């Protein structure tokens, strides 16, 4: 007879009901979800093919089109985190041998390089020091040199806090006959984005930052030129779960079973998007900008230096130079352990050099900034 494994008795004694500390999440994400979003998540699930759920999926689609400012029919939420949506974007429009040009000015540019190469792309890169952005002239030269089928850029580079301007990039891509693929993980909801006006062909994002929702349901959109590329593929999309030819049958008119959607996360996403629509997307962008400027001013008053030049700074994520002689990790640890405030450390090339402070979605409020400013003197040992 098969013996049932038992849990160690000492472990069993420690298994109390779930208890998680309450934190103010001012790191690079996740950010705290709006209480109404958590409430919505608590609603008992219906089936993933229930007409009520299908209606909710339709609502998510149209709300996503609004926050992204696009008319793209194929706009969905991928069941997974931002990386799943990123992989979906790459997997669907990349075929082995395609030249994919990636702008690398931070950690997530490198992730795009890794993903595209795994799908057989002939990956080329243009690089900038971390914290800087590409000019239109630099992008034009790179397109002339590499003649890619896809140009991939990170709009909001979470590892550096820099915002890549996108005006004019879509026109350049049309001139050179390539698709424009954009990472909007740290911009959607908090930074102005006009996908159609800017000629973006493919974009993806996440739920846990500017949308103010828990992680796990990640927006993805494909415009007409991307769909044409998808239909002209010579090979199958090399990822079953993320294949938009299959997924679009679940999100589109056919409503064919594809996978069991994470129902409660979609409830949360729908509520987060509803709140955003109620606020108005432009108001949300302005709120993010205003609170970020308040943070920047106070940090500079405090004698701290910001890593990114003001005109390219993200309102959602600020990188602060760690002063000489200060143990950046110890400061972040103390903030978390003693004050329940999370901030992020540097990633990749900027590890040990910067802190990353996020003001995203529900957390982009003056009170969040004030809560941080109140404890900063203690952790930096300043009067």
Ligand X SMILES: Cc1ncc(COP(=O)(O)O)c(C=O)c1O
Please give the residue ranges that form the binding site for ligand X (CB under 6 A).
28-29, 81-83, 86, 108, 154, 158, 183, 185-186, 206, 215
Closer to ligand X by Cβ: residue 165 or 215: 215
Residue holding tokens 């709300």? 63
Closer to ligand X by Cβ: residue 119 or 176: 119
Q: Who's near 118: CB < 8 A, 6+ residues apart?
A: none
Closer to ligand X by Cβ: residue 78 or 341: 78
Closest approach, Cβ 108 to ligand X, in A, equals 4
From the list 126, 100, 105, the residue with the least C-alpha distance to 115 is 100
Closer to ligand X by Cβ: residue 205 or 289: 205
Closest approach, Cβ 14 to ligand X, in A, equals 29
Take residue 124 and report the two structure tokens written for it.
């080329």
From the list 359, 319, 343, the residue with the least C-alpha distance to 129 is 319
Closest approach, Cβ 316 to ligand X, in A, equals 10
Closest approach, Cβ 126 to ligand X, in A, equals 17
Closer to ligand X by Cβ: residue 98 or 183: 183
Closer to ligand X by Cβ: residue 31 or 149: 31
Closest approach, Cβ 64 to ligand X, in A, equals 16
Closest approach, Cβ 177 to ligand X, in A, equals 26
Q: Is residue 236 packed enough to be buried (19+ CB in 10 Å), middle (13-18) or exposed (0-12)?
A: exposed
Closest approach, Cβ 222 to ligand X, in A, equals 18
Residue 74 backbone dihedrals phi, psi, to 5 degrees:
-85, 75
Closer to ligand X by Cβ: residue 176 or 221: 221
Closer to ligand X by Cβ: residue 28 or 315: 28
Residue holding tokens 């690079």? 28
Alpha helices in 214-254 (DSSP H): 224-231, 244-251
Q: Who's near 248: CB < 8 A, 6+ residues apart?
A: 74, 76
Closest approach, Cβ 313 to ligand X, in A, equals 15
Asked if residues 131 and 137 have their Cβ atoms less than 8 Å apart, the reply is: no
Closest approach, Cβ 250 to ligand X, in A, equals 21
In sequence order, the β-bridge partners of residue 319 are 356
Q: Who's near 92: CB < 8 A, 6+ residues apart?
A: 202, 222, 226, 230, 237, 242, 243, 244
Closer to ligand X by Cβ: residue 179 or 206: 206
Indicate the SS3 state at residue 266: helix
CA-to-CA distance for 294 and 284, rounded, in angstroms? 15
∠ Cα 195 349 33 (to 5°): 50
Nearest residue to ligand X, scored by beta-carbon proximity: 82
Residue 203 backbone dihedrals phi, psi, to 5 degrees:
-145, 155
């Amino acid at each position: 007879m098969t013996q049932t494994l038992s849990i160690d008795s000492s472990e069993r004694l420690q298994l109390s009901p779930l208890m998680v500390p309450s934190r103010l999440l001012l790191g690079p994400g996740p950010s705290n979800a709006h209480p109404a979003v958590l409430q919505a998540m608590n609603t008992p699930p219906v089936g993933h093919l229930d007409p009520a759920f299908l209606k909710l999926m339709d609502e998510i689609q149209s709300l996503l089109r609004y926050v992204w400012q696009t008319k793209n029919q194929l706009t969905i939420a991928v069941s997974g985190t931002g990386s799943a949506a990123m992989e979906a974007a790459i997997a669907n429009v990349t075929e082995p041998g395609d030249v994919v040009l990636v702008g690398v000015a931070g950690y997530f540019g490198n992730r795009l390089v890794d993903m595209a190469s795994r799908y057989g792309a002939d990956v080329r890169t243009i690089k900038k020091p971390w914290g800087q952005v590409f000019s239109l002239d630099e992008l034009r030269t790179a397109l002339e040199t590499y003649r890619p089928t896809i140009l991939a850029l990170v709009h909001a580079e979470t590892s550096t806090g820099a915002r890549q301007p996108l005006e004019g990039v879509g026109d350049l891509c049309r001139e050179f006959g390539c698709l424009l693929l954009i990472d909007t993980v740290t911009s959607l909801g908090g930074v102005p984005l006009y996908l159609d006006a800017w000629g973006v062909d493919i974009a993806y994002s996440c739920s846990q930052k500017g949308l103010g929702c828990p992680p796990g349901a990640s927006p993805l959109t494909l415009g007409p030129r991307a769909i044409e590329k998808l239909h002209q593929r010579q090979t199958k999309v090399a990822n079953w779960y993320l294949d938009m030819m299959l997924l679009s049958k679940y999100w589109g008119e056919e409503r064919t079973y594809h996978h069991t959607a994470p129902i409660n996360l979609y409830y949360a996403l729908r509520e987060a998007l509803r709140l955003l629509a109620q606020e108005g997307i432009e108001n949300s962008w302005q709120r993010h900008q205003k609170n970020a400027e308040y943070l920047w001013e106070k940090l500079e008053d405090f004698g701290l230096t910001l890593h990114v030049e003001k005109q390219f700074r993200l309102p959602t994520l600020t990188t602060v130079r760690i002063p000489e002689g200060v143990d950046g990790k110890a400061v972040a640890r103390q903030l978390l352990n003693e004050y329940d405030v999370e901030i992020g450390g540097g990633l990749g090339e900027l590890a040990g050099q910067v802190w990353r402070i996020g003001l995203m979605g529900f957390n982009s409020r003056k009170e969040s900034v004030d809560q941080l400013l109140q404890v900063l003197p203690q952790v930096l040992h300043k009067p």
